[in-house]
Amino acid sequence: RKEVEQDPGPFNVPEGATVAFNCTYSNSASQSFFWYRQDCRKEPKLLMSVYSSGNEDGRFTAQLNRASQYISLLIRDSKLSDSATYLCVVNFSGGYNKLIFGAGTRLAVHP
């Protein structure tokens, strides 16, 4: 079983749609959680950290459920520029903060 699992998609949505991605992780000792965004053939860039209480950044909302070991990302009012791969990322306590990435979920927003 992979340490971080995501639905690979692709999710094809029209502009203005709301879309949600989920992710599960296997190690209950996971300490920090993130969503990174990666454009085609580019490096991953931090989209947002994920906090236990849930957090929002503009059109993006992230949730963490430690009991179920699951993380979600909600994107409201999708823009064409949101088209990318969204990587769910965790790090485990005691692991020198190395990041464990999911394989990513592809999002394609069309006009």
Partner 1 sequence: DTGVSQDPRHKITKRGQNVTFRCDPISEHNRLYWYRQTLGQGPEFLTYFQNEAQLEKSRLLSDRFSAERPKGSFSTLEIQRTEQGDSAMYLCASSLGQGDKNIQYFGAGTRLSVL
Residues that bind partner 1 in the complex, under the rule CB under 8 A:
4, 8, 31-32, 41-46, 49, 87, 89, 91, 95-104
Per the DSSP assignment, residues forming a β-bridge with 56 are 61
Q: How far is the CB of 100 from partner 1 (least distance, A)?
A: 7
Q: How far is the CB of 103 from partner 1 (least distance, A)?
A: 5
Whichever of 17 and 70 has its CB closer to partner 1, that residue is 70
Whichever of 20 and 46 has its CB closer to partner 1, that residue is 46
The span from the CA of 16 to the CA of 55, in Å, is 21
The span from the CA of 20 to the CA of 91, in Å, is 22
Q: What is the 3-state secondary structure (H, E, C) of 84-109?
A: EEEEEEEEECCCCCCEEECCCEEEEE
Q: How far is the CB of 43 from partner 1 (least distance, A)?
A: 4
Whichever of 74 and 103 has its CB closer to partner 1, that residue is 103
Q: How far is the CB of 15 from partner 1 (least distance, A)?
A: 26
Whichever of 12 and 18 has its CB closer to partner 1, that residue is 12
35 within 8 A of 42, measured Cβ to Cβ: no
Surface-to-core class of residue 5, CB atoms within 10 Å of its CB (0-12 exposed, 13-18 middle, 19+ buried): middle
